[in-house]
Amino acid sequence: MMQFVIAAPRSGSGKTTVTCALLAALKKRGMDPCAFKSGPDYIDPMFHRSVLGVESHNLDLYLSAKNTVRELYAHYTAGHGAVVCEGAMGFYDGQGLTTRASAWELADALDLPVLLVVQPKGASVTLAAEIQGLVHFKPESHIAGILLNDCSEKLFRMLKPLLETETGLPVLGYLPRLPQAMVESRHLGLKTAGEITDLAQKIGLLADALEANLDWATLEALTERPAPAPVPPPALQTAGVRIAVAQDKAFCFAYAETLDCLRTAGAELVFFSPVHDTALPEDICGLYLPGGYPELYARPLSENKTMRDAIRDAVNGGLPTVAECGGFLYLGQTLEDASGTAWPMAGVLPGKGVKVGRLVRFGYADMTAKADSLLFHAGEHLYIHEFHHWDSTDNGSGFSVWKSEKVQWECGFASMSLYAGFPHLYWAGTPLPRRFVSGAKFYQRQKRNTHD
């Protein structure tokens, strides 16, 4: 099985472009690839899924224990012929000024070879020095080869012998500049895959270009590894409860692993759109409002008053509800759009969503629950992640968050039927799915007793 990590010296090197091109080319070759993303990124896996037509998954060594990451990797690679893991940021860049949760730490934890994506802009011999520094920074870097991105054929032929001589690494090929295949960005990175109408054509162009300019035999020789030992499938529960999950262009940041864990815990997930639907799904016993871009769709969300009222009444009526980041903003009183216009939202929580224009409380942190609630026990810790350019006038005080000795804050609303806050939670390997489903089951029994 071909297995490797795609990494780069820094952000902006084209890791996602190269990863999507590789996945499309591997699929075209009949390799049946699967994909992973290092870190808490929601957007890049959407691109992987658009290429593959199957799920891509996150592997995060800050949010998850090493054993959990290894189990998830083994579980989701089963039955596939190739595995491509896309790194985040620079190769050694992790939480804060450490290598924790970096692409290097993931490669090290899974013992995977690394293909280093390098953009040869304005440098030649210096590139060799930079790559040598990356190779020797750790006793085992796992770097096995180099791929040049945004590179002409002429420059590739000049640099290949130089880099191979100076670094001892094979230069496996190059991806030329393709302006017609560029993907637009915005404040949270790339636009989501669903917003790009010609994405399939763009990725097709990239895959064809890479197919023609990559040494596939050498890549296979460098990355061939025994398939991970299979892990026993989790025992499926039979709770028999329906949980509504918001899923549309405004709410698109849900980890695939979280949804799978909820199913394993016994939930039947029913997807709906707060933008377009006028009513919640029938017979639900739980509600999950994940993150996304509600600020970009504040007007249609607000104008769908029937749905806003339905969600307000359901949450106030005790429906077990989890609302993360964008979902948290939706439950507030109002939400400003990109122009600063405030639109009425569900009105469950006291805060108003406001545009800040910069990242707020960005990054990993450690969250501690102050009291027992739907998802947490008092004093319990969970690692979380925040990434947003909007804030709330009332972030709640149900949890204490520690980022560093100098950076700490309170956030979140919690009760026996609610979790709502900016922090994104990673549910795999935690008791959260079981607790949410248990809360939904309790709600179901109460509802039946009321009707009897």
pLDDT, tens only, 400-412 = 999 998 999 999 9
- Provide the sign of the torsion angle of the four alpha carbons 27, 29, 33, 39, taken in this order: negative
In the chain the first and final C-alpha atoms are separated, in Å, by: 57
Nearest to 353, CA basis, from 275, 277, 293, 272: 293
pLDDT for position 201: 77
Largest CA distance in the chain: 80
Nearest to 288 by CA among 433, 390, 395, 415: 433
DSSP secondary structure of 204-271: HHHHHHHHHTB-HHHHHHHHB-PPPPP-PPPPPP---EEEEEE-SSSS-B--HHHHHHHHHTTEEEEE
Catalytic residues: 325
Angle between helices 199-212 and 43-52 (to 10 degrees): 80
d(CA 89, CA 92): 8
pLDDT at position 152, please? 94
> Helix, strand or coil for residue 285?
coil
Cα(247)–Cα(274) distance, integer angstroms? 8
The pLDDT value given to residue 61: 96
Residue 182 is predicted with a pLDDT of: 66
Q: How far apart are CA 399 and CA 421, in angstroms?
A: 9
C-alpha closest to that of 85 among 27, 12, 4: 4
Query: How many Cα neighbours within 13 Å face the side chain of 378?
Result: 3
Q: Would you give the DSSP letter of residue 317?
A: T
Query: In whole angstroms, what is the distance from residue 346 CA to residue 101 CA?
Result: 36
Q: Write down the pLDDT at residue 194.
A: 55
Distances (CA, A) of 4 to 19, 83, 288: 11, 6, 34
Neighbours of 251 (CB within 10 A): 29
As a whole number of angstroms, the distance between CA 136 and CA 113 comes to 15
Whole-number pLDDT of residue 187: 42
Sheet holding 33-38, edge to edge: 56-59, 33-38, 82-86, 2-7, 114-118, 143-149, 171-175
Residues forming a β-bridge with 59: 38
In 3D space, the residue among 175, 195, 231 whose CA is nearest the CA of residue 24 turns out to be 175
Neighbours of 346 (CB within 10 A): 27
Instruction: List the structure tokens of 44.
Output: 């890049």
Q: Is residue 253 within 8 Å of 329, Cβ to Cβ?
A: no
Q: For the chain, how many residues are written?
A: 452
**pTM value?**
0.90
C-alpha span between 166 and 375 (Å, rounded): 54
Positions in the chain whose pLDDT score sits under 50: 186-190
Contacts of 267 (CB under 8 A, 6+ apart): 239, 241, 242, 243, 286, 433, 436, 437, 440
All structural domains of the chain, each given as residue ranges with its CATH number in brackets, are 2-223 (3.40.50.300), 241-451 (3.40.50.880)
User: Which residue carries 């996602």 as its tokens?
Assistant: 16
